[in-house]
Amino acid sequence: MSFPEIRAYRLLTERLELTCYQPEHAEELQALAADNKAHVSRFLTWGLDEPQTLDQKLEWIRQLRIKFDRGEDFAYRVQNRTDSRMIGGAGLRPKESNRQMEIGYWVAESECGRGIATELTAALTRFSLETQQASRILIHCQVENEASNRIPAKLGFHREGIARRIRSWPGEENRDLVVWTLLPEELPGSPSYASIYEAFDELGQPLNKDTAAR
């Protein structure tokens, strides 16, 4: 099996549940994405294609699941644990070499300011560095996205610099991205190290020993 050998199909944090997308999530995803078109399309290209039909979302989920099972890209549905309501999405993506993992996230506009993205990013960071044995974690944020850039800064990531004109954007010049990284030896000094989470494989078996998130 190629990196990462350990794959979490479900993660629990204090307030959140991250799960691999299933077909039954299509209708909820369709509604949330359409409602947040103006919010997400400022910085995420998929937002430009909203709204989409239910069939389009079902096909999108099928493709996400194929990539998930192949270990190519791990896209997660993010929901509140209290009411099981979807409030955003997250992802872990293996990079081309050297056991690197990239984290991505988006949160519904109505949920911004509650620390949701910080909580899920901290858990994914700790899980990937400790359990998946990633060599480093990458986060890319558009320069103008101040809210997104605050998250890795708050979690002690190192701001390596700006990758200029690297993100393609329909009908526009390519956009600049801020490059944030965290190495395994830097994890103990990061607030991510205090993240309490549980991770489970595709059979529901635990992948780590933390139990406080239950």
Q: How far is CA 118 from CA 17, 83, 102, 131, in A?
A: 14, 20, 15, 19
3-class SS of residue 113: coil
Element at 105 (helix H, strand E): strand 100-107
* CATH code of the region 10-200: 3.40.630.30
Contacts of 183 by beta carbon, 8 Å cutoff, 6+ apart: 135, 136, 158
Cα separation, 180 vs 139, whole angstroms: 5
Closest CA to 127 of 68, 70, 42, 198: 198
Among 46-50, 87-91, 119-123, the least confident range: 46-50
pTM: 0.94
For 142, the token pair is: 């558009």
Query: In percent, how much of the chain has pLDDT > 90?
Result: 93
DSSP state of 86: E
**Is residue 97 pLDDT above 80, yes or no?**
no
